[in-house]
Amino acid sequence: MTSTARIASVRARQILDSRGRPTVEADVTLDNGSFGRACAPSGASRGIYEACELRDGDPAHYDGLGVKKAVANVNEKLASAIRGQSVLDQEAIDTIMRDTDGTASLERIGANAVLAVSMAVACAAAEHERVPLYRHLANLASTVPSMPMPMTNILSGGAHAGRGMDLQDFLMIPVGAKSYSEALEMISHVRLSSTRLMKDRGLTTLLADEGGLSPGFGRAEEAMELMVQSFESAGLRPGDDAAIALDVAASELFEDRSYRLAGEGKTFSGAEMADFIFDLARRYPVVSIEDPLDQDDWDNWRRFASVLPNCQIVGDDLFVTNVERIRMGIEKEAANAALIKLNQNGTVSGTIDATATAKAAGFAAVVSARSGETEDTFIADLSVALGAGQIKIGSVRSSERLAKYNRLLRIEEDGVLPFAGVSGIYGHSVAEAV
């Protein structure tokens, strides 16, 4: 048994994220000197039901995107509210912070303020207990840790690439990998191959927000072809070694009750949108589809999930890491997997509950970064701790993403954790892989 340590001080500051925009960093110090630090991430294609990110709105600073109010809320309100609490009681601390805010969406204190402190508390507790963060989080969640399968951005569009392509992410899952490090090497190889292929065709190879390439193809089909060619040119068999995952981020395309795909030159009803994605899924080795439809289009989600029963159908904007919305999805059979983003929920214990709710219903879980990230590696440990099976970080190009990939390499080096492999992906078992 470890002895109790109590929170002695909490301090926050404004730092910058990977898009050069302000975000909240929080420090938590315990009475025995143990220390934790964490930073809140920030999304661009945000769901309307996400916990609320508090921004200053003062056009004189950072275009209104400053987070000085959220920082002041930590230093002036949350610090005094949680001082003296046992650091091991994450749930009690998160409840106090929610109560201090008093709204379900954390709009008064700001989910960015609450989350940074919540994560820093977990980091301080892990240091106090002298265990790696993933061990501490697994103890909190009563879960069995494993190394996750990465799902990685190769080509980008949507809100992450100046609307260059309609669909937001064309991702690779290295389904043939036998270990996390092998998976990472396959991904790196494919990412290099896609750059080479694009250069050969005279296409620009500038980076999108998550480090993916943004060829700006009009049609999704062209991006799918390039994905397959990139696998082949890396010496990987499409479908067997490397498969495609899509994040359509369809809420971003939904306007006046229709889906507007500028690149395709099409405006679709919900049923037509579903058919468009089905067609891509049938013609290419697609194993996972995220947000194929708008966050409120429940009926079409339900139909979509019933037509592709063996494909992983992931709710991001649909579920926003929220227990109630995940429960609705389970009841309506609207999907079979949940994207897990800490800042959509607002606290570490709330995120653990959301993941547990999804997994208890047989849903898959994909722990995910945001398009605005920092050097913080918390989600690497979280994905391992929860035995989530999958992680979505963005491409292998910029340090805010690589910090997480590299943290996973260090965890793997401990040599004790099994690799989830394809078993974490909905509809795939290890038996099928051999």
Binding site for ligand PGA (CB under 6 A): 43-46, 159, 168, 247, 249, 316, 368, 370-371
**Of residues 270-299, which lie at the interface with Zn ion (CB under 5 A)?**
290
Residue 68 falls in the annotated catalytic set: no
Residue 199 falls in the annotated catalytic set: no
CB of 279 to ligand PGA, least distance (A): 22
CB of 431 to Zn ion, least distance (A): 29
Neighbours of 410 (CB within 10 A): 11
Which of 9, 74, 63 is closest to 40 using CA atoms? 74
Sequence-separated (6 or more) residues with CB below 8 Å from residue 389: 146, 148, 149, 364, 365, 366, 420, 423, 424, 425
User: With respect to ligand PGA, which residue has the nearer C-beta, 274 or 379?
Assistant: 379
Query: Which candidate in 68, 341, 392, 404 is catalytic?
Result: 341
Binding mask 294-333 for Zn ion (x = CB under 5 A): ----------------------x-----------------
Task: Sheet with 266-268: list strands edge to edge.
Answer: 254-255, 258-261, 266-268
Query: Which candidate in 129, 210, 290, 373 is catalytic?
Result: 210
Choose the one of Zn ion, ligand PGA, none that binds residue 371, judging by a C-beta under 5 to 8 angstroms depending on kind.
Answer: ligand PGA
User: With respect to ligand PGA, which residue has the nearer C-beta, 355 or 371?
Assistant: 371
Cα–Cα distance, 164 to 194 (Å, whole number): 17
3-class secondary structure, 154: strand
Choose the one of Zn ion, ligand PGA, none that binds residue 370, judging by a C-beta under 5 to 8 angstroms depending on kind.
Answer: ligand PGA
3-class secondary structure, 122: helix
DSSP states along 383-428: HHHTT-EEEE---SSSHHHHHHHHHHHHHHHT--PPB-GGGGSTT-
Choose the one of ligand PGA, Zn ion, none that binds residue 46, judging by a C-beta under 5 to 8 angstroms depending on kind.
Answer: ligand PGA
Sequence-separated (6 or more) residues with CB below 8 Å from residue 3: none
Q: Which helix (H) or strand (E) holds 367?
A: strand 364-368
Token digits for 210?
């998550």
User: With respect to ligand PGA, which residue has the nearer C-beta, 42 or 90?
Assistant: 42
Token digits for 376?
């913080």
Label each residue of 70-116 as H, E or C. HHHHHHHHHHHHHCCCECCCHHHHHHHHHHHHCCCCCCCCCHHHHHH
**Of residues 189-248, which lie at the interface with Zn ion (CB under 5 A)?**
247
User: With respect to ligand PGA, which residue has the nearer C-beta, 46 or 428?
Assistant: 46
Q: Give residue number: closest CB to ligand PGA.
A: 43
Token digits for 431?
């038996």
Token digits for 284?
């290419």
- The strand pair at 254-255 and 258-261 is best described as antiparallel
Q: What is the largest CA-CA distance in the chain?
A: 63
Choose the one of Zn ion, ligand PGA, none that binds residue 207, judging by a C-beta under 5 to 8 angstroms depending on kind.
Answer: none
Cα–Cα distance, 85 to 98 (Å, whole number): 15
Whether the Cβ atoms of residue 15 and residue 23 lie closer than 8 Å to each other: yes
User: With respect to Zn ion, which residue has the nearer C-beta, 247 or 373?
Assistant: 247
Choose the one of ligand PGA, Zn ion, none that binds residue 357, judging by a C-beta under 5 to 8 angstroms depending on kind.
Answer: none
Total residues contacting Zn ion (rule CB under 5 A)? Answer: 3
Choose the one of Zn ion, ligand PGA, none that binds residue 43, judging by a C-beta under 5 to 8 angstroms depending on kind.
Answer: ligand PGA
CB of 180 to ligand PGA, least distance (A): 21
User: With respect to ligand PGA, which residue has the nearer C-beta, 138 or 382?
Assistant: 382
Choose the one of ligand PGA, Zn ion, none that binds residue 8, judging by a C-beta under 5 to 8 angstroms depending on kind.
Answer: none
Q: What is the DSSP letter of 15?
A: E
User: With respect to ligand PGA, which residue has the nearer C-beta, 41 or 176?
Assistant: 41
Interface residues toward Zn ion, by CB under 5 A? 247, 290, 316
- Positions annotated as catalytic residues are 210, 341
